[in-house]
Amino acid sequence: MAAYLARVYVSLKPTVNDPQGNTIADGLRSLGFGEVGGVRAGKYIEVRLTAASAEEARGRIDAMCDKLLANPIIETYRFEVEDQPGG
Amino acid sequence: MAAYLARVYVSLKPTVNDPQGNTIADGLRSLGFGEVGGVRAGKYIEVRLTAASAEEARGRIDAMCDKLLANPIIETYRFEVEDQPGG
């Protein structure tokens, strides 16, 4: 078994309203960043796991996203898996 | 002025306790993902903005991170800026 680090990015689908992102955009503009056109807020999750191969790790992370990390009704996700030599 | 999309990743510093990440790790393990070693939860923020150049956009995003998007006491951030042809 080898150690892997997965970086998972979860975003709201483009059609879903994002009050948190709107609040961040308003805050940035009121701080003087008037060039901000829009903000979308999502989640960034790092998962450390062991697996027999990088391909197996990708399959397991995909299952974790479907079951817990993302809500497939309103969110999309993407991820990268990298080797972690030494765990 | 050109349009840019910045992808900002905000993480807790490694020494900072992360109860949200621990809860996600426990949830994954109880769903049958016993191979999970640890989880860190952070934020993923997309900012659309206009700037005279990609370099100027990077400088502005850096300032936004310092002032609002990240808490430098407990968080680190990194970002990428890409051109958005057509806005």
What is the pLDDT, as a whole number, of residue B33?
98
CB contact under 8 A, A43 and B43: yes
Place of tokens 């860190």: B40
The pLDDT > 90 percentage for chain B reads 95
Contact residues on chain A for B43, CB-CB shorter than 8 A: 41-44
Mean pLDDT score, B15-44: 98
Mean pLDDT score, B8-37: 97
Residue of B nearest to A21 (CA): B45
* Structural domains present in chain B: 2-83 (3.30.1280.10)
Is the pLDDT confidence value at B87 over 60? Answer: no
C-alpha B51/C-alpha A86 separation (Å) is 42
Contact residues on chain A for B64, CB-CB shorter than 8 A: 28, 31, 33, 36
C-alpha A74/C-alpha A16 separation (Å) is 7
Helix (H, G, I), strand (E, B) or coil at B80: strand
How many angstroms separate the CA of residue B36 from the nearest CA in chain A? 4
C-alpha B59/C-alpha B55 separation (Å) is 6
CA distances to A25, B3, B62, B79 from B51, rounded to whole Å, are: 16, 7, 13, 16
ipTM of the complex: 0.90
CA distances to A8, A13, A14, A45, B62 from A77, rounded to whole Å, are: 7, 9, 12, 11, 25
C-alpha B6/C-alpha B57 separation (Å) is 8
Answer whether A10's CB lies under 8 Å from B44's CB: yes
CB contact under 8 A, B43 and A48: no
CB contact under 8 A, A36 and B21: no
CB contact under 8 A, A46 and B39: yes
CB contact under 8 A, A44 and B46: no
Q: Which of A27, A28, A42 faces B44 most closely, judged by CB atoms?
A: A42
Mean pLDDT score, B2-23: 97
The residue type found at A72 is P
Is the pLDDT confidence value at A83 over 70? Answer: yes
